[in-house]
Every structure is written in C-alpha cells, then in structure tokens.
Amino acid sequence: MEDRLSRVFAALADPIRRDMVARLASGDATVNELAEPYPVTVQAVSKHLKVLEEAGLVTRGKQAQRRPVHLEAEVFDLMTKWIERYRRQAEERYQRLDEVLLELGQPRTEGGAP
C-alpha cells in the first residue's frame, strides 16, 4: 500500500481511527485528550494518529509540549470522488438493464441481494 487513496481507505478501516476523525470533526484535540476514551495506551493512539497523518487526514500543530491534532476535511473529496464515480456508473448500468427488461415486457429486476 503506497498510493494516497489506499492510505486513506486503510486509515478509516479502523474503528478507533474513524472515531477519532469523528471527534476531530467538532474541534481540534491533543493526543492525550484523544486517547482518553479508549482502552489502549497513549502510545498506541500516537501510532493511530501517525497513520491518519500519513493519509493526509490530519495535521499536527505545536503548542508548548502539546501537539494539537487538526482534521483536514479536503482529503474526503478524494474518496467521495472515487466512490461516486463507480456508484454512478454501476447504477446507470442497472437502470439501463431495467429499461431493457421493461421493453421486453419482463418483470423488472428485483434487487440482487436481500
């Protein structure tokens, strides 16, 4: 895994990191503040932040010995663009199929998986 998109998806594949992003969405926080709710050491949280940082999802500031973490929301665009592109494509295809079946007078497709 080396490309940007892979790093972003991988970063958000962990519940703790996703939760941290959720909290950062409502304001910056220090490492200790972020670590507090989780049953892991602060070192582990520090590692998680590194992953988020390398994915470009957060940046870290400097405030005395504190390192306030800040969410960079722009990176989300990368993902949504990727997702939307293929979803739209897939949905269009699906719709075309429906139209074809309709033209043939067949009972329309019933959503694949329940």
Partner DNA sequence: TCAATGTTCAACCAAAAGGTTGACCAGGCC
Partner DNA sequence: GGCCTGGTCAACCTTTTGGTTGAACATTGA
Instruction: Select the binding partner of residue 40 from DNA, a copy of itself, none (C-beta < 5 to 8 A, by kind).
Output: DNA
d(CA 57, CA 71): 6
Stretch that binds DNA, among 18-26, 44-52, 84-92, 101-109 (CB under 7 A): 44-52
d(CA 100, CA 113): 21
- Does 112 bind a copy of itself (CB under 8 A)? Our answer is yes
Q: How many residues are listed for the chain in this entry?
A: 114
Q: Which helix (H) or strand (E) holds 99?
A: helix 75-103
Residue 63: strand pairing partners: 66
Residues that bind a copy of itself (CB under 8 A): 1, 3, 5-7, 9-10, 12-15, 18, 21-22, 24-27, 56, 59, 70-73, 76, 79-80, 82-84, 86-87, 89-91, 93-94, 112-113
